[in-house]
Amino acid sequence: MRLYTQGSAYLSFDEAHNGSIEAGKRADFTVMSADPRQVSPEEVPQIPISMTVVGGEIVHSEWHGVWNR
């Protein structure tokens, strides 16, 4: 996973803004309903997405109304 997160940010010279979840960095990520490391590679595309965050804002959530936006 680090290759696709911190590694890709480093290779694009953007590690100051991307690549890890911490204060001051862009927050683009998804939350899957299952751990993709615990299923076969063929099953990963079928894992439902529970939440999507873009730029620190929730743009999709299966838990409508849980958070105050």
User: What is the model's pLDDT at position 44?
Assistant: 95
Beta carbons within 10 angstroms of residue 14's beta carbon: 13
User: What is the model's pLDDT at position 45?
Assistant: 95
pLDDT by residue for the chain (69 residues), tens only, comes to: 677 788 888 888 988 988 887 888 887 889 999 999 999 999 999 999 999 988 888 899 987 655 554
User: What is the model's pLDDT at position 48?
Assistant: 94
User: What is the model's pLDDT at position 20?
Assistant: 84
CA angle 20, 56, 17 (to 5 degrees): 40
Q: Where are the domains of the chain?
A: 3-61
List of long-range contacts for 47-56, beta carbons under 8 Å, 24+ apart: 53/27, 53/28, 53/29, 54/27, 54/28, 55/26, 55/27, 55/28, 56/26, 56/27
User: What is the model's pLDDT at position 36?
Assistant: 93
